[in-house]
Structure 1
Amino acid sequence: MRKTVVFLILTVSGWAAMAQTSATPLTLEQCRKMALEHNKNVQISEIKVESADALSKAAKAQYFPNISFTGTYLRTNNELQLLSENKLLPIGVKYADGSFGPATPTYNASTGKITSESLNNSWTKLPDGTIAPLDKNGTPFNPKTNPEKLEWKNYAYLPADQTRVEHKDFYLGAISLLQPVYLGGKVREVNRMAGYAKQISETKKKMEDSDVLYGVDEAYWRVVSLQEKVKLAQDYNNLVTRLNSDVEDMYKEGVITRNDLLKVKVKVNEVELNLTKAQNGLELAKMALCQEIGIPLESDITLADLPKPQLTTLKDTGYASYALNHRNEIAALDLASKLAQSNVNLMKSRFMPNVVLTASYMAANPNPYKGFTNDFGLDWNVGVVVNIPIFHWGERHQTLRSAKLEQKVATLKTEEAKEKITLQVKQAMFKVNETNRRVAMTQKNIERAEENLKVANDGFKEGVLSASDVLEAQALWQSSISENIEARNEAMLSETNLKKVLGELR
């Protein structure tokens, strides 16, 4: 919300400033600043940086335990039943040696009584005084050495329908904790990749800023150039109009022919049409600049700067190597190569075992810890989960191979970009030197054209030269100044382009 308010304040203040542009001309630096504040592509780049930052923070959260709550409600159609059929549960005792069998009565010699009732067999007292059971034939035997002779006749009856869980509604709630212990380096590489992605977004924003600044410079110098051309067209129109007035007077006096008069009038119409075209072009150029700096297209703006080329000859003093160290494109491609390498490491981690610590606290109804009664049973558990990949039909090998190939592609793209940037630097340097020479040549042409126009005017006044000669001299003068204006505009843009290819346009 705060960013939105700041953006609105900047927008309103920018529009308010535009109301005074007719009195306060805009400088190039002001236009650049306004463009960076209002350009939609710049705003999109800023949003992408914020998005990448959010993803980076999300990746860091993978180091910490994941705590969640799960609630389940289940309605069954049938009741649960623990036994499938009725059961007979034999009754017995546990002997001193730990074995289980039918209760064996013991004889107390002092009282002469049996202290435990027989469960199944008949019992007798042997001559040595011990008590032993009788088999079905009435013969005594040792139940420990001949347990097969025992007949179990006393049982507890357990009906199956009495083991039903008389509930169809089941509730389960659990708070769980999942803490990665070792995932083969996955979490580390994911964090690295998120960090690289954030840096790439920041680098691309700088690239977008550079493109916006170049677009502003191009639009700005176009307006400046057209302003000068409109002024030139007005001066040219004044010259031709004044010549037309002189020719009309001379025609009335019979000094020149009507053909000379018509030539001048045609030229007047042509110059007026060119003036109108220049004025329309200026208005369109101003609208384009307004769009670049984010103000209403109909704003009346004036510009303060004039193109002032350096007019120096550049010599190669390591411009290419400087550009390779400062270009955002190279930085972005280097980060992309690191990102690809991290992806290779991530694919390698899929071959490694995964160890995760788990813990949970749960509540269940019916209570499984209390005979499935209608209340909540509570319990907690901790555990360690280990997953070791063994065989996946080559799927992980192929994904690793694909990641390695992508890493090679990223390296080749970086090498190709370095070659192209080196070529761009050379071209930009040649363009600067070429436009500077053109500015110097057109300035000399202006001096010659002005001298030629003065000679033509003097000759026309003296009657030595015709109106056509003056028109030709005026056209040459206008053409030389127009070429100089274009040359200076190209020179300023070539300097901006050189800064851009060197990575200095910020």
Structure 2
Amino acid sequence: MSKRNFLWILFCFGALSGTISAQRTLSLEDARNLAIQNNKHLKMASEEEKVAYYEKKEAYLKYFPKFSASGMYIRNEKNLNLIGSSAIPGSITIPDLSGIGIPIPPGTQIPIPQELSDKIRSIGELDIKNIWVGSISMTQPLFMGGRIVAYNDIMKNAQELAKSKKDTELQDVIAELDASYWQIVSLAYKKDLAESYLRLLQKMHADVGSMESEGVATKADVLSVMVKENEADMTLTKVDNGLSLARMLFNQLCGLEIEEKVALADEKREMLISTEAPITPSIEEALLNRPEIKSLELATKIYKGKEKIERAEFLPELGLMAAYTWTNPNAFDGFQNTFGGMWNVGLKLSVPLNFMTSSAKLSAAKAQTRIQEYQLEDAKEKIELQINQSAFKLNEAHKRYISSEQNMEKANENLRYATLGFEEGVIPASDVLAAHTAWLSAHSEMIDSQIDVKLCNVYLNKALGRSLTNVKQ
């Protein structure tokens, strides 16, 4: 072998080793952490929690005064004239002035020149072609009928509600992840079981073929074994396809690439199932810890807060107002083209008179509160039923596990005796095939019962409102 070919083989072997070692192995805890980090619904719940926080912060600011600044500029075509053109006569009638020695006949009309008339009118002209107005104002609520206090209580409960919804979403994500995790473990066990079953049938096929050659087995025995072997091969294909699809779903829940190869820590590990009877669950624990109950209780408080807001419509509102205003032309100095201003302060009292409309809104708010209370009572009843169902299923799963364990031991013993009897020629091939089938069924039932106990524990803990992140499997 040339040096070049040897180096090429080393390179391919190194690349293959790197690919194999790159495959990650995840424990259930690792998978949960990945799902929590990458789940889109949890990210949306976190953003909703931020929204609730800032809305609560905005509600608190309603206790404080509001400041605003405004400005305006107007360009007018003409100036303002306080002396009308009709106010200046065209001429002056001279009265009798003979008494003071002025020899002008009374009634003489002396015309007023247009230039003088224009000068008189210009005295009353105000320059308003360019008007500038600016102001800074402040409004401080003094009494709003309890509306601001109720609104702050609503936003506080809304923030707690957002946290509770996030907890609910977290529990759902973990429960879904656990179900996917244990489904892969179950299918991995069943794949190993199907491969073992296929190897048994292949060995039996070879043994029956040899016995047929020796004349101690018939062609029918060989064909029966071949049929079972083909069925086992098809079963292995189905399990393998199901395992591939289950891994894709698991990767999607963990936020990984769909085609990424991930090994699970429990695939090759013996499952340890406690044979002790499950402890009777506590309904009080569930009603205290379930995030759904907390959410409905908070929703009820929110609607009670809305009742207070609608009740505030019957009460007067009192507010303090203050402002400083600038104008140009200066209205406080003969409308000169300079800026001038003044401050003002006052109280605003608003007394509602629309009692019929407010009464209807208050009645509607009370009805919505009662709806939430009914939903809360209904949820408590359904949760109690769910807990009892979960407890019954867990008890049933434990009994099924104990029974399947006993059946598996008997199936193993039955297969051993059938195999020995077949090799000694005292048991027909059909009985051995039946023993193989019983062995496969018992082992498959054992795997299902183990996974069932695992998942029933998850669902019971979830029903009791326990944090699944703290529950070890």
TM-score w.r.t. structure 2 length? Answer: 0.84
Query: In the alignment, which residue of structure 2 is the partner of 1:329?
Result: 292
In structure 1, C-alpha distance between the alignment counterparts of 2:261 and 2:302, rounded to whole Å: 48
Aligned to 1:53: 53
1:256 Cα deviation from its structure 2 partner: 1.7
- 1:75-474 counterparts in 2 under 5 A? 75-76=75-76, 79-82=79-82, 86-87=86-87, 163-305=124-266, 306-314=270-278, 316=280, 319-389=282-352, 391-392=353-354, 394-474=356-436
| Larger CA deviation: 179-188 vs 425-434 | 179-188
CA distance in 2, matches of 1:76, 1:228: 90
User: In structure 1, what is the Cα distance between the partners aligned to 2:224 and 2:215?
Assistant: 16
Contact 1:450 1:477 in 2 (8 A): yes
The offset of 1:173, in angstroms, is 1.1
Stretch of structure 1 that moved more, 43-52 or 457-466: 457-466
Q: Is the 8 A contact 2:181 2:250 kept in 1?
A: yes
Cα distance per residue 1:435-478 (max 9 Å; x no partner) = 11111111111111111111211121121222222111111100
Letter paired with 2:293: I
1:69 and 2:33 are equivalent in the alignment: no
Contact 1:85 1:159 in 2 (8 A): no
RMSD value over aligned CA atoms?
A: 2.3
1:79 shift after superposition: 4.2
CA contact (8 A) 2:81 2:121 kept: yes
Deviation at 1:159, TM superposition (A): 6.9
Matches of 1:283 and 1:352, distance apart in 2: 67
One-letter code aligned to 1:63:
Y
Q: Is the Cα contact below 8 Å between 1:73 and 1:170 reproduced in 2?
A: yes
Deviation, structure 1 residue 364:
1.1
How big is the shift at 1:375? Answer: 2.2
User: Per residue, is there more helix in 1 or in 2?
Assistant: 2
Larger radius of gyration: 1
Q: CA deviation at 1:85?
A: 6.9
Q: Quick check: 1:176–1:358 contact (8 Å CA) kept in 2?
A: yes
Secondary structure at 2:26 match in 1: coil
Question: 5+ unaligned residues in a row in structure 1: which ranges?
Answer: 1-17, 89-119, 123-156
Query: Could you tell me whether the CA contact under 8 Å between 1:425 and 1:502 is conserved in 2?
Result: yes
Contact between 1:237 and 1:272, CA under 8 Å: does it hold in 2? yes
**1:187 alignment partner, SS class:** helix
Counterpart position of 1:111 = none
Structure 2 CA distance for aligned equivalents of residues 161 and 410 of structure 1: 75
| Paired residue secondary structure (1:350) | helix
For the Cα contact (< 8 Å) 2:127–2:329, is it kept in 1?
A: no
Give the SS at the match of 2:322: strand
- One-letter code aligned to 1:291: Q
Where do 5+ consecutive residues of structure 2 fail to align?
A: 1-18, 89-96, 100-116, 469-473
How far apart, CA to CA, are the structure 2 residues paired with 1:79 and 1:482?
100
Deviations 1:55-84 (A, max 9, x none): 111111111111111112233455444466
Counterpart secondary structure, 1:451: helix
Matched with 1:30 is 30
1:489 aligns with 2:462: no
Q: Does the Cα contact within 8 Å between 1:165 and 1:372 map onto a contact in 2?
A: yes
Q: In structure 2, give the amino acid aligned to 1:309.
A: I
What TM-score results when the alignment is normalised by the length of structure 1?
Answer: 0.79
Return the alpha-carbon distance in structure 1 between the equivalents of residues 21 and 461 of structure 2: 31
Partner amino acid, structure 2, of 1:343: K
